[in-house]
Every structure is written in C-alpha cells, then in structure tokens.
C-alpha cells in the first residue's frame, strides 16, 4: 500500500503570542535554508568538476546549527527539518537539469513553512486546530 499524505490549508486568526512564534519560525526556517544553501554553494564551487565527490558529501542537519545558534531551539524543529528537505529537493532538481541553482530566501517574498503531525501534536477538533 502506498503512503498517502494529507494536507490542510487554513486561514488562521492567531493571538499576539502566536503571531510572534509564527514570525520567529518564518525567520528561523529562512535562516536555516540560507545557511545550508551557503554551505552547499561553497562546496559546489570547490567540487563542481568532481561530480562523484559532490554526491558523497554529507551535509549537516538543522540539529547541528542548534548547538551554534541557541535561538533555533525556540521554534518547531519539524519546520526546520522540512527546510532541509526543501533544499534537498531543490538541489536534486538542479542536478537533474529541471531547475536553476537554488536561490536564497528573502524576507520580502512570501513567508511560509511546513510542519508535520507527530504523535497528535496538531489536532483538528470541531473545525478548529
């Protein structure tokens, strides 16, 4: 049986405290994506002629950055992990020739992040999250 994912899209009306947490999460997701992209770009520039060596490189996870940047622990870790997955997908598309080299995320563009339901951390009750 194939794995099936469900997605829900909601308009939300967060409290002031929730708005602050959402904005922090946007910033941290953008920071992780850009930090990881900068490191990958540097690696790509130094090894772009050696495709095999480029494939063997192990890239750090968001957990590595949490040790260096304590404030990353304040936000949803799944959102940070999904930023890494998004970057991985962008890289794969680039190497397959389906897309251009990934670009850095900007504050000026649409802000979004993806999270996952794990152990019932997000529940839908009577049409409310």
Q: Is 63 part of a structural domain of the chain? A: yes
Q: Does residue 27 lie in a domain region?
A: yes
Taking the C-alpha atoms of residue 5 and residue 10, their distance in angstroms, rounded to an integer, is 17
Query: For residue 71, what pLDDT is reported?
Result: 93
Does 52 fall in a domain? yes
Q: Is residue 113 part of a domain?
A: no
Question: Which tokens is 44 given?
Answer: 């790509």
pLDDT of residue 121: 63
Are 62 and 28 in contact, with CB atoms under 8 Å apart? no
Whether residue 104 contacts residue 34, with contact meaning beta carbons closer than 8 Å, is answered with yes
Q: What angle do CA 80, 73, 91 make, to 5 degrees?
A: 20
Query: Residue 51: inside a domain, yes or no?
Result: yes
Within a domain: 112: no
pLDDT value of position 55: 74
pLDDT of residue 32: 94
Rounded Cα distance between 22 and 109, Å, is 16
Q: Which domain holds residue 62?
A: 16-96
Proportion of the chain in helix, strand, coil states, percent, rounded to 5: 55, 0, 45
pLDDT value, residue 83: 92
The reported pLDDT for the residue numbered 53 is: 76
Q: Is residue 70 part of a domain?
A: yes
Residues of the chain with pLDDT under 70: 120-123, 127-129
What are the pLDDT digits (tens) for 18-35? 899 989 999 999 999 999
pTM of structure:
0.81
- Answer yes or no: is 118 within a domain: no
Check residue 129 and give its pLDDT: 63
Q: How many domains does the chain have?
A: 1
């Amino acid at each position: 049986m194939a794995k099936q994912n469900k997605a829900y899209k909601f308009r939300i009306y967060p409290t002031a405290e929730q708005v602050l947490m959402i904005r922090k999460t946007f910033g941290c997701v953008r920071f992780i994506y850009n930090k990881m992209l900068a490191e990958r770009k540097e690696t790509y520039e130094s090894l772009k002629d050696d495709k095999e060596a480029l494939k063997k490189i192990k890239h750090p996870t968001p957990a590595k950055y949490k040790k260096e940047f304590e404030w990353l622990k304040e936000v949803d870790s799944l959102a940070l992990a999904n930023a890494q997955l998004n970057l991985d997908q962008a890289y794969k598309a680039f190497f397959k020739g389906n897309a251009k080299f990934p670009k850095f995320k900007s504050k000026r563009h649409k802000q979004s992040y993806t999270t996952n339901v794990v152990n019932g951390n997000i529940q839908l009750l009577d049409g409310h999250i």
